Amino acid sequence: MWIKLCTTPEVPDEDVLEVTYNNHVYCAYRISGKHYVTDGICTHQVARLSEGYVIDDVIECPMHNGRFHIPTGRVDGPPACDPLRVYALKVEGQVLMIEVNNT
Ligand code: FES
């Protein structure tokens, strides 16, 4: 199902916005004018990625500097091993919606 995560003006350019919905933490990004949404917690240990750095199209975890490619979620730098979940999204007006399975 699709959920309304946030509005597009809330998402900073070339940076990250953390959004919690139904106790699940997401990160919303706008990179080169395009929106992306990933899980907000690092797959290595429990760290909030929104407290890390967005470097081009990569998010760097604040805890051990693991890196993930934002558009695909693939690991871009150790010690992270598991990819980050990336969500299908659509923008309706200024509302950013993502597709989730069971929230
Ligand atoms: S918790 Fe993110 S790299 Fe370790």
pLDDT digits (tens, 9 = 90+) for 1-14: 999 999 999 999 99
User: What is the tally of structural domains in the chain?
Assistant: 1
- Structural domain containing residue 46: 2-99
Pocket of ligand 1 (CB under 6 A): 42, 44-45, 47, 61, 63-64, 66, 79-80
pTM over 0.85: yes
Output the domain CATH number for residue 47: 2.102.10.10
Q: What is the pLDDT of residues 66-99, one digit of tens each?
A: 999 999 999 999 999 999 999 999 999 999 999 9
Q: Residue 66 Cα, ligand 1 centroid: separation in angstroms?
A: 5
DSSP secondary structure, 13-81, as one string: BTSEEEEEETTEEEEEEEETTEEEEEESB-SSSS-BGGGSEEETTEEE-TTT--EEETTT--EEETT--
